[in-house]
A and B are shown apart, each in its own frame.
Chain A
């Protein structure tokens, strides 16, 4: 919620317009309102009030409120990808066979007796499977897709419903991870390492989304799968990079994913030469190499410099999104949390259609 809206709500409360303020808050925070509604309904159900009538509403608010809040929070880091929320639609005796077949409807059962939160876990897994990387899944391998789905589902459950993690871990995760040699387990381990470096949402999923938005003249599954493997290996190395370490390659120039991570962090360089070395690097090295995406990462104190770099290359790159986040930095043997800023730039005129001969 923006500062302006917060001020309006406070002003309305102060002026006595409590009802309007509450309605405005609910309107702007549907996910939170549904989450609170589900908690209230759960309390009523536990004391036996309206058990038959309220359970459906509780399940609906519980799933929509929690899943959509997770999406909303991660949207700020990944606008192109996570721009889908969930809407639970009840099916009842008015349904017809024709509606199922023609509408291609998959109807999941919601149990009244649900001590392990199976309803929530099943809904999350189905939602993530249906929505995440919808296009990229045409190209990546089944283990890459399965591991990514499992990873996002785990993060969603950890954040929104920790009580359901146990069931998810037992039934979904452990059977896959325990098979150490399985391709899905290997990809999952790699995604975990990328996430530790805070590059999972912002770079990995974003690059897969960009990949999914390309149109390939001929199917190149094996090549793309291999490139996604190289992408994850590349990101693991960056994720484990120490502050100041310069022997880690920050450019990935694959056949389909072409991006660079530029760290705007050296205060000495910025204070002596301002942004020029960064602009020169982008214009003289990255642009001729055909870079499509630049991830400018900087300590929060360098935001102004990053924005100046953006302005300097604005004739060739458009802003895709920006995000602020906290990251654990490795400095020698120590680790410490630091506020970070990320700006993603996309090259104009990049190749969307890749012909068969490319």
Chain B
């Protein structure tokens, strides 16, 4: 039976992942914003990391942004 992979990063590995993606410095400086609401993403609010237009983007944990991410993924799948 086929399995759908869900990729996840644990809190313990989050700093390492941000460093590996070259985002750690900008993130610490409060320069990275949620793709959907435009607010600065912080440790408290980071929800997801995803590709968009050749860049790695972030989504925050506001319920409307979590849902916007799901809709965005649906739309992107539609376009592919």
Contacts and interface: CB of A to CB of B under 8 A. Distances in A.
Q: How large is the interface on A (under 10, 10 to 19, 20 to 34, 35 or more residues)?
A: 35 or more
Interface in A72-111: 83-97, 100-101, 104-111
Nearest to B3: A87
Nearest to B63: A171
A318 interface: no
Given A85-B1, A109-B14, A172 B22 contact: no
A107 B7 contact: yes
B51 A105 contact: yes
Given A52-B12, A93-B19, A106-B73, A175 B63 contact: yes
Contact of B1 (A83, A113, A118, A126): A83
Interface string A238-270: 000000000000000000000000000000000
A109 B14 CA distance: 8
A117 interface: no
Given A107-B50, A137-B78, A91 B9 contact: yes
B35 to A, nearest CB: 12
Contacts of A111: 11
B2 A84 contact: yes
A282 interface: no
B9 A101 contact: no
A195 interface: no
A112 interface: yes
A130 B73 contact: yes
A125 interface: yes
A309 interface: no
For B9, B19, B64, B77, the residue with the greatest tally of chain A CB atoms inside 10 Å of its CB is: B9
Q: How large is the interface on B (under 10, 10 to 19, 20 to 34, 35 or more residues)?
A: 35 or more
A93 B10 contact: no
B20 A93 contact: yes
A125 B48 contact: no
A59 interface: yes
Nearest to A72: B1
Contact of B7 (A106, A146, A172): A106
A86 B6 contact: yes
B37 interface: no
Contact of B8 (A100, A101, A109): A109
Contacts of A302: none
Given A109-B11, A112-B12, A95 B4 contact: no
Given A84-B1, A85-B1, A88-B8, 18 more contacts: A85-B4, A86-B4, A86-B5, A87-B6, A90-B7, A91-B13, A92-B17, A97-B22, A100-B50, A100-B51, A101-B56, A104-B51, A106-B50, A109-B46, A112-B10, A118-B61, A126-B6, A175-B63
Interface of B: 1-14, 16-17, 19-22, 46-51, 54, 56, 61, 63-64, 66-67, 69-71, 73-74, 77-78
8 contacts: A90-B10, A97-B21, A100-B49, A100-B51, A107-B17, A108-B7, A142-B71, A149-B70
List 5 A-B pairs, minimum CB-CB distance, nearest first. A93-B16, A171-B63, A87-B3, A106-B50, A107-B49
